[in-house]
Amino acid sequence: MRTAFVVLLVFLLGLFGCSSLTLRPADFAWPVEQVVKVDSKGMANVMRYSFTMNVKPLLFEETGDSTNVARWSIRVLRDQRGFYFLTADGFKHVYVFKQADAELAIEERILIAEQGISGSALNQRAPYVELVRDGGPAVKLSPDGIVEGGSK
């Protein structure tokens, strides 16, 4: 009887030792957007969060030009779930990226305005990201796209 108890105890300890460690809840949100000037190499450096990314492919996707990159300022905000929302004045879209192995991978490309966005700003409106812009209503965004009727 005692041997069966010891075997069961060792089995249960082994079972619990194999479970993964999870820390919940975790909030990855940045409190305010970061407006980042793009350098001549296409790199945008968010110094506050020690975060750097190459935005040349994004600028090419949006404008068709990846050579004249130093004139751009990119707006970046990270939501609670860890998704990165990127846009800029003149862009038609807000791009949603997720973190991958030493890269940002596209999750969603959200069309906002065919003529381009002006006077834009990204705000935290948990659980959404809000895009405010000149000449249009504020838009609540999630990693899946535009959220209609979301809470304020």
38: nearest Cα among 88, 91, 2, 84:
88
Question: Could you report the per-residue pLDDT of 41-84, keeping only the tens digit for each?
Answer: 999 999 999 999 999 999 999 999 988 999 999 999 999 999 99
Cis peptide before 25 (omega within 30 of 0): yes
152 residues of the chain, pLDDT tens digit each: 667 655 555 555 555 556 688 898 999 999 899 999 999 999 999 999 999 999 999 999 999 998 899 999 999 999 999 999 999 999 999 999 999 999 999 999 999 999 999 999 999 999 999 999 998 899 999 999 999 633 33
Cα–Cα dist 61/64, whole Å? 6
**Separation of alpha carbons 34 and 49, rounded Å:** 10
- Indicate the SS3 state at residue 24: coil
- Which spans in the chain are helix H? 2-17, 56-63
Other C-beta atoms closer than 10 Å to the C-beta of 110 total 20
Tell me the domain boundaries of the chain: 27-147
Cα dihedral 136, 137, 141, 146 sign: negative
Proportion of the chain above pLDDT 70, given as a percent: 85
